[in-house]
Amino acid sequence: AKEQGRSRYHLYTSSMDEQAFRRLTMENSLRKALQREEFSLYYQPKVNIKTGQIVCLEALVRWQNPEMGLILPNQFIPLAEDTGLIIPLGEWVLRTACAQNKTWQLLNYPPMRVAVNFSPRQFQQPRLTDMVEQILGEADLAPCWLELELTENVMLQNVEKTVQTLNRLSNLGIHISIDDFGTGYSSLSYIKKLPIQTLKIDRSFVHDINTNADDAAIAIAVITMAQSLRLNVIAEGVETLEQMKLLDGLNCPEMQGYLFSKPLPVAEMTTLLSNIKWP
């Protein structure tokens, strides 16, 4: 039994070492990735169901590493958060998304917002509003064409400070959305204190909405609350016609998901925009 215990312990430590090693390798690659221009942005439309128009394109970061291949954000954003690399990466995302939106506007596509995800640590960074204003200025993009997607967990840190920062951003004319709504840890009472425009129903509630009464109940609750607070509401992760019909029946005005389009690289998104019959 002692033997066994020891070998198990050995296995445990070696897999720990391996994990730590992988993490270190990834951290080193992540540090170099910005200079090596290994990041790119994909864009996914948010659609107004009544008009069929694209109201916004959400920027989603991708990391193409020569050794590791394509890495999705869930595999490196947490590490970027831990190491602080999220700050320069986040600035790069914002700058790139704003410049791209300006490019599409100059190509005469009907103007849409571009949405950028901000993680809690990014949101806590000093002089955030100055940075955002500067990047908008550099891109020559009007603030009304920028949307920031924040999770409820942003609110956990320091409510006063968060409200202050959100007020500044909102006063500039930037659109603020609460992402993954209903999955965070904060209470609902903060919602009415915040200058936000949109609640985004998390895709975990959309996935089984046609078969799971609890998920449907949550979606209904969010839509109803948004209506009474005069907020916009969007459902993410809409993959099927059945989900779309049900949400439309609940008067959910905007949707996003594979049913409409997967996140696309710039060239493919530009093709998609060109092929739309704009009213």
Q: Does 179 bind Ca ion (CB under 5 A)?
A: yes
SS3 state at 151: strand
Q: Which helix (H) or strand (E) holds 254?
A: strand 254-255
The residue written with tokens 């990466």 in the block is 89
- Cβ proximity of 23 and 79 under 8 Å: yes
The least CB distance from residue 215 to Ca ion, in Å, is 15
Which of the choices Ca ion, ligand C2E, none does residue 74 contact, using the CB cut-off of 5 to 8 A by kind? ligand C2E
Identify the residue among 29, 44, 100, 117 touching Ca ion (CB under 5 A). 117
Q: Which of 102, 173, 90 has its CA nearest to residue 128?
A: 90
Residue indicated by tokens 């005005």: 253
Q: Which residues bind ligand C2E (CB under 6 A)?
A: 44, 60-61, 72-74, 77, 90, 93, 117-119, 149, 179-180, 203, 236-239, 257-258, 263
Smallest distance, Å, CB 48 to ligand C2E? Answer: 17
Distance CA 158, CA 120 (A): 11
The H helix count followed by the E strand count for the chain is 10, 10
Looking at the Cβ atoms of 77 and 219, the one nearer to ligand C2E is: 77
Tokens representing residue 163 in the block: 């409200």
Of 73 and 184, which CB lies nearer to ligand C2E in the complex structure?
Answer: 73
Distance in Å, CB of 58 to Ca ion, minimum: 6
Shortest CB 138 distance to ligand C2E, Å: 18
Task: Say whether residue 180 binds Ca ion (CB under 5 A).
Answer: yes
Interface region with Ca ion, contact rule CB under 5 A, candidates 31-39, 71-79, 174-182, 190-198: 174-182
* DSSP letter string, 32-77: HHTTTT-EEEEEEEEEETTT--EEEEEEEEEEEETTTEEE-HHHHH
Q: How far is the CB of 185 from ligand C2E (least distance, A)?
A: 16
Decide if residue 254 touches Ca ion (CB under 5 A). Answer: no
Measured CA distances, 18 to 12, 13, 72, 75, 141 (Å): 10, 8, 21, 16, 46
Element (H, E) at 255: strand 254-255
* Least distance from ligand C2E to the Cβ atom of residue 4, Å: 41
Among Ca ion, ligand C2E, none, what does residue 257 contact (CB within 5–8 Å per kind)? ligand C2E
73 binds, among ligand C2E, Ca ion, none (CB under 5 to 8 A by kind): ligand C2E
- What is the number of other CB atoms lying within 10 angstroms of the CB of residue 50? 10
What amino acid is encoded at 4 in this protein? Q
Binding mask 133-172 for Ca ion (x = CB under 5 A): ----------------x-----------------------
Can you tell me which residue has the tokens 């009213």?
Answer: 279
Give the nearer residue to Ca ion in terms of CB position, either 179 or 254: 179
Stretch that binds Ca ion, among 31-39, 127-135, 177-185, 256-264 (CB under 5 A): 177-185
**Closest distance to ligand C2E from the beta carbon of 45 (Å):** 10
β-bridge partners, 146: 114
